[in-house]
Structure 1
């Protein structure tokens, strides 16, 4: 699930909210690289059909239904990726509708980096960074491959495939001018009913554009179908079992795969877990609360420092943040001809820093804004920039097919919900209450209800949860660990979104040992 969706206080369809903070924003800072697109988007959406039926998790490849066998038996042509010669690229053909495989095909893009050295190769390790809507290919090619340890790199080919609807894999294109400016986090919203109605109108305009331009594809980009696509890729890679690392929304995709195909689960890591059993209302309410916990953790640390720019207590720091944001709403801070900072941008920077977490840069950004200097703030906003051209369209199209990811509430219901959201998060509650309307007008009903996942008989699955994760709160990791029958929970007592490859030797060692050797960390293991 996500980056925080960027919103504007108008119903203008060109300013429709962007993705929630459920992607790997921290990864951009870790890589230090520009994630450039190595391919052109791939066309070819086919007519829509009905939702695919649930798979038999005990089935073997030999038991694949006859209508799907040619997908499982196709030959992949791997070629050097243009501009990235150490990576190979290919195209995978999958059915638009698994229940009616003769209804047409979709073409998905995938990339891989072959295992290094002469060590014992285990197989392929599929990677998904989250979103939904984030390009797995961009993340892997853009630097994430280099973060894996030598033991993992010698054991696996690293593989990324953009899910259906995303960037290079038959993308959802609503043909609107969605924003590409680096402001992908929370937005201020008043409790005024007219303003809430304006948000609702904006969502409706965006929905109508998607229905006009991408309507035939919209029923077929859900997580259930994406999980089935991963099983086709697993077979074509020559692996009996799927080895997988998923972050944030990628954990929801991985858990869905495990529930569909438990006998085909290999070594699976789910980091920054989404709870598939949660309903959309609680999803947004608990995420607002998660950002509040993260903010107060920062404020508590800041209060103890002599260079804290906002005060000496959590209460004072929070009050001054609100005052500063409101002042920027009234008078935009300008620096040069092209830079203008409003209250929304300030909140965006705060949320981005809480995700990373980068508290030193956040203190510098707050100090700079007070002095009229936006340099540090622009650094934070730049790290939230989305490089996936259809990320907004894909985010909504995928989320709105899953009840846990996308609620459908009226503007009146949002008005009634605001007090509870503000109690959960004085700083972020208004923004997340607004998100309750994001799929209210969506033309396709949800195909994946909130439900527990158990994956009976699956190989051991490692779940990683960060105690003060703002975007996927720690209770979700514990809930998923309770649901999956073969899971083991690794706890990271820290701040920020997700844990693997974020600087913890304890976490990285535990995950690497599991991936390379199949050895789970001890039950109850906590890294600090």
Structure 2
């Protein structure tokens, strides 16, 4: 189950962090001068919280200064079916509006699932156009199970290293058995460490948390910017509270109705296509280590991955670059074209020098692993935990074998890293919540869906599906590569999103940038 990592806006941050090691630089988005207008208030028929939930909506956040601006916590029910029972605290961060008369709060989610919104706020704020910063208080939060909000913890860092780094031959019964055993140990650790909380880290509960946050912040309607998995969260909110939707942007769409199999096949095809686009671009420039035509270049990458699996590459550290780590490094770079030059340097180093320093650095940024062996976030544990709680998987041998054959057909280069993923959830200790009956969100005001034609993690057909699923959605298309588009593509996309957030004005039907 590959992760839908945070938006490509994060790639500028990644590039900046890599600069210290790899001499790269990031970039930021620009603003567009549009006068803001008030967000329409909900109709009189918008539902109010039940008496048992009212106390959560009526609380006041005690803001304290922090690296993100101001930080605080909001108390929410652990189980919304039992609001008088146990509670958990959500970590929230706010960067106050720079304007004199903000129209409200803009809540943001960066993706994952499992990525910290509190950390994301500090990284993304400098990239937000000045007009948006003047019009809104920028607010983000760690969803339940993430980082500071009742965080999922299942295994220690060394066990997590094993899950991420080790290569197993899933084409053999022994390899499959070892792979299943590793993830059964992860599930057992989740059960032992999390207890009753484990059954309530689902997206539907997180969407209900989002409405509590809206109420506590004093906003009658929700203004929301969701990237990647954040679109799943946003669409779920719209389905639950259609008349509370204000201005909602869903960039890099991941429809909540997707099955586990559809996610796996869709992402494998997306990464294969993006890898092909990278190889073509690399071969058209100078210094590309991939020779011949595009297919030959892909074959060279396959050979490198096979070599790293059989004989991990030295990195100049105590760790070697395994095949799994090499793929993670390649995959991280495919999230944004600004990281493609780094990937070229990493492949050159690996193919020509037989070392994996750069690919390991990319892989560690993907997993939030620090040089001292600690993981700076719990993303790599929260992601499978939330995913398994959200969506049921079919781990029957027949289903997994059929999927592996389909993956080998549609995505031959990356197929080994996507196949048999259902084993990750086979021993999950709580039943999957599953999707809501409908995501039409009837009665919601216009919602803006943004899709990128060359998005590897949330393929463009998913954006088309999301726009059709939501009754009031309009699709904005970015013709290009990379994961998500706002703040990381061009002024056409940025301008359309800015105008919508400031005025509620949608781009023209069928708009392509």
TM-score (norm 2): 0.88
Q: Which structure shows the bigger proportion of residues in helix conformation?
A: 2
Counterparts in 2 of 1:161-240, with a 5 A limit? 161-177=141-157, 189-240=169-220
Q: Secondary structure at the match of 1:74?
A: coil
- Is the contact between residue 316 and residue 357 of structure 2 (CA under 8 Å) also seen in structure 1? no
Q: CA deviation at 1:310?
A: 1.4
Q: Distance in 2 between matches of 1:438 and 1:59?
A: 45
Give the equivalent residue in structure 2 for 1:431. 417
Give the equivalent residue in structure 1 for 2:372. none
2:58 counterpart of 1:73: yes
| Matching residue within 390, 393, 416 for 2:378 | 390
List per-residue Cα deviations over 1:193-215 (Å, max 9, x = no partner): 22122211211111111112212
| Matching residue within 107, 121, 130 for 1:126 | 107
2:80 counterpart of 1:95: no
2:238 counterpart of 1:258: yes
List per-residue Cα deviations over 1:467-486 (Å, max 9, x = no partner): 11111111000000001011
Structure-2 change in CA distance of 1:277 and 1:229 (3 Å): same
Structure-2 change in CA distance of 1:382 and 1:393 (3 Å): closer
2:396 counterpart of 1:413: no
Q: Secondary structure at the match of 1:103?
A: coil
- Is the contact between residue 182 and residue 384 of structure 1 (CA under 8 Å) also seen in structure 2? no
Q: CA deviation at 1:388?
A: 4.8
Give the equivalent residue in structure 1 for 2:5. 22
2:96 counterpart of 1:114: yes
Could you tell me which runs of 5 or more consecutive residues in structure 2 were left unpaired when the two chains were aligned: 19-41, 369-374
Q: CA deviation at 1:113?
A: 0.6
- Is the contact between residue 14 and residue 365 of structure 2 (CA under 8 Å) also seen in structure 1? no
TM-score (norm 1): 0.85
Structure-2 change in CA distance of 1:360 and 1:392 (3 Å): closer
- Is the contact between residue 107 and residue 224 of structure 2 (CA under 8 Å) also seen in structure 1? yes
Q: Distance in 1 between matches of 2:177 and 2:414?
A: 19
Q: CA deviation at 1:31?
A: 6.4
Q: CA deviation at 1:249?
A: 0.8
Structure-2 change in CA distance of 1:71 and 1:399 (3 Å): same
| Matching residue within 342, 347, 366 for 1:361 | 342
- Is the contact between residue 221 and residue 244 of structure 2 (CA under 8 Å) also seen in structure 1? yes
Structure-2 change in CA distance of 1:437 and 1:374 (3 Å): closer
Q: Secondary structure at the match of 1:355?
A: coil
Q: Distance in 1 between matches of 2:468 and 2:167?
A: 34
2:323 counterpart of 1:343: yes
- Is the contact between residue 244 and residue 269 of structure 1 (CA under 8 Å) also seen in structure 2? yes
Could you tell me which runs of 5 or more consecutive residues in structure 1 were left unpaired when the two chains were aligned: 6-19, 36-56
- Is the contact between residue 280 and residue 407 of structure 1 (CA under 8 Å) also seen in structure 2? yes
Q: Distance in 2 between matches of 1:32 and 1:523?
A: 34
Q: Distance in 2 between matches of 1:330 and 1:458?
A: 54
Q: Secondary structure at the match of 1:124?
A: strand
| Matching residue within 456, 470, 473 for 2:459 | 473
Q: CA deviation at 1:302?
A: 2.6
Q: CA deviation at 1:28?
A: 4.4
> 23-32 vs 357-366, which deviates more?
23-32
- Is the contact between residue 61 and residue 74 of structure 2 (CA under 8 Å) also seen in structure 1? yes
- Is the contact between residue 170 and residue 179 of structure 2 (CA under 8 Å) also seen in structure 1? no
Structure-2 change in CA distance of 1:104 and 1:375 (3 Å): closer
Q: CA deviation at 1:392?
A: 2.7
Give the equivalent residue in structure 1 for 2:29. none
Structure-2 change in CA distance of 1:268 and 1:187 (3 Å): farther
Q: Distance in 2 between matches of 1:103 and 1:505?
A: 48
Q: Secondary structure at the match of 1:238?
A: coil
List per-residue Cα deviations over 1:380-429 (Å, max 9, x = no partner): 334324265322332222111222xx524134532343111111111111
- Is the contact between residue 411 and residue 437 of structure 1 (CA under 8 Å) also seen in structure 2? no
List per-residue Cα deviations over 1:46-102 (Å, max 9, x = no partner): xxxxxxxxxxx9886773211111111112211212xx2x61111111111112111
- Is the contact between residue 321 and residue 360 of structure 2 (CA under 8 Å) also seen in structure 1? no
Q: Distance in 1 between matches of 2:341 and 2:266?
A: 26
List per-residue Cα deviations over 1:208-261 (Å, max 9, x = no partner): 111122121011111111111111110111111000011111000000000000
Structure-2 change in CA distance of 1:356 and 1:313 (3 Å): same
